[in-house]
């Protein structure tokens, strides 16, 4: 196997620093550095690019990002046990790796990076969806980030790229596809990780569009979609009851059939409805 850097193999790093994976931290590590280098390249060449990585752990993906030429990596890690291993990587790539010991839901990453930056992360499952929704719903668009390359449980990845009419189609698909191009770039079996999780994983790549596909107020769209899919088996007129006083009229004005179900409504329909709701 070719080597991507002169640092020790990850198994040795984990043994040396006693980094036994903790379930409570959502730790499933990638130890194959050729694989992490491939994930690092999903969004294209990294030369001159600043990257935010959430949850570097022992640093497999971090090493992939740096070996692939990222100008600077900001890595936010909650588990302080990982810091010595990450400090060794920082010493190997002087001035290119900044590690913050903290919770990614609380650290203001944007304040520490020069836009536009990319996000590349093998996310902790317990906070992955929340981080994605935050990245997708800033008040202004385009956002400070250019693209997101994120590892999720495969089922979550499928919800992000889902099309109308499918079971996986819901809030995540609408919010993601409204302002991004989305694709599943890789799927990985449980054995790719140490320890192996129960389910397969997938890397999703999202590229920010210069402007949303259809006009809508982000906060209103979020509210409408959350309510619409909350009771996805009900007809829209029932699922959306109480959203505005005359919901059936709003649905018709948006060109939607009040007896349709949420999973039949395309992106354009949700945006039209958000505009009608805002007008109401």
Contact footprint for ligand SAM (CB under 6 A): 25-30, 54-57, 60-61, 76-79, 82, 103-105, 122, 124, 127
Decide whether 103 or 246 has the Cβ nearer to ligand SAM.
103
| Spatial contact of 214 and 222, defined as CB atoms under 8 Å apart | no
Q: Closer CB to ligand SAM, residue 33 or residue 277?
A: 33
Please state the closest distance from residue 108 (CB atom) to ligand SAM, in A.
13
CB of 124 to ligand SAM, least distance (A): 3
Half-sphere exposure of 2 (CA within 13 A, CB side): 8
DSSP tag of 197: -
Question: Is 263 within any annotated ligand binding site?
Answer: no
Q: Which residue is nearest to ligand SAM (CB)?
A: 55
Token pair, residue 91, equals: 């010493």
Known binding residue 126? Answer is no
Q: Which neighbouring-strand residues pair with 122? A: 151
User: Considering the complex, what minimum distance in angstroms separates the CB of residue 195 from ligand SAM?
Assistant: 11
**257 is known to lie in a ligand binding site:** no
Query: Which segments of the chain does DSSP mark as H helices, in order?
Result: 10-16, 33-41, 60-67, 83-92, 125-136, 154-161, 171-179, 218-230, 236-239, 247-253, 267-279
For ligand SAM, the closer of residues 61 and 208 by Cβ is 61
Residue 105 vs 215, nearer CB to ligand SAM:
105
CB of 122 to ligand SAM, least distance (A): 3
- As measured in angstroms, the least distance from the Cβ of 239 to ligand SAM is 32
Residue holding tokens 């599943």? Answer: 184
Backbone angles phi, psi at 19, to 5 degrees: -95, 55
Given the complex with ligand SAM, which of 56 and 218 has the nearer CB atom? 56
DSSP states of 229-262 as a string?
HHTTTSBHHHHTTTSSTTHHHHHHHTT--TTSBG
Residue 55 marked ligand-binding: yes
Query: Is 256 assigned a ligand-binding role in the annotation?
Result: no
Residue 243 assigned ligand-binding role = no
What is the distance between the alpha carbons of residues 238 and 265, in angstroms, rounded to a whole number? 15
Task: Report helix, strand or coil for 203.
Answer: strand
Tokens of 267: 């992106």
Minimal distance in Å, beta carbon 30 to ligand SAM?
4
Are the C-beta atoms of residues 30 and 36 closer than 8 Å to each other? yes
- How many Å apart are CA 56 and CA 239, to the nearest integer? 40
173 CA to centre of own chain:
12
Beta bridge partners of 202: 152, 187
Nearer to ligand SAM by C-beta: 78 or 250?
A: 78
Binding residues: 28, 30, 55, 77, 103, 122
Binding residues for S-adenosyl-L-methionine: 28, 30, 55, 77, 103, 122
């Amino acid at each position: 196997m070719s080597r991507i850097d002169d640092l020790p193999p990850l198994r040795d790093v984990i043994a040396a620093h006693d980094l036994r994976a903790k379930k409570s931290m959502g730790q499933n590590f990638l130890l194959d550095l050729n694989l992490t280098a491939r994930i690092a390249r999903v969004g294209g060449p990294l030369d001159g690019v600043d990257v935010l990585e959430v949850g570097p752990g022992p640093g497999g993906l971090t090493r992939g990002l740096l070996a692939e030429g990222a100008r600077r990596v900001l890595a936010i890690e909650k588990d302080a046990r990982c810091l010595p291993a990450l400090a060794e990587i920082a010493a190997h790539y002087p001035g290119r790796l900044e590690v913050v010991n903290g919770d990614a839901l609380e650290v203001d990453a944007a304040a520490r990076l020069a836009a536009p930056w990319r996000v590349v992360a093998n996310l902790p499952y317990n906070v992955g969806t929340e981080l994605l929704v935050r990245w997708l719903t800033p008040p202004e668009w385009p956002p400070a980030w250019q693209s997101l390359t994120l590892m999720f449980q495969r089922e979550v990845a499928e919800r992000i790229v889902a099309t109308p009419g499918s079971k996986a189609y819901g809030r995540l698909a609408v919010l993601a596809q409204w302002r991004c191009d989305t694709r599943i770039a890789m799927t990985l079996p449980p054995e790719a990780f140490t320890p192996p999780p129960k389910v397969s994983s997938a890397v999703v790549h999202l590229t920010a569009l210069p402007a949303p596909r259809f006009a809508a107020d982000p906060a209103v769209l979020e509210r409408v979609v959350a309510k619409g899919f909350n009771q996805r088996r009900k007809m829209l007129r029932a699922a959306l009851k109480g959203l505005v006083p005359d919901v059936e009229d709003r649905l018709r004005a948006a060109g939607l059939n009040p007896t349709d179900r949420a999973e039949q409504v395309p992106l354009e329909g949700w945006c039209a409805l958000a505009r009608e709701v805002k007008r109401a």
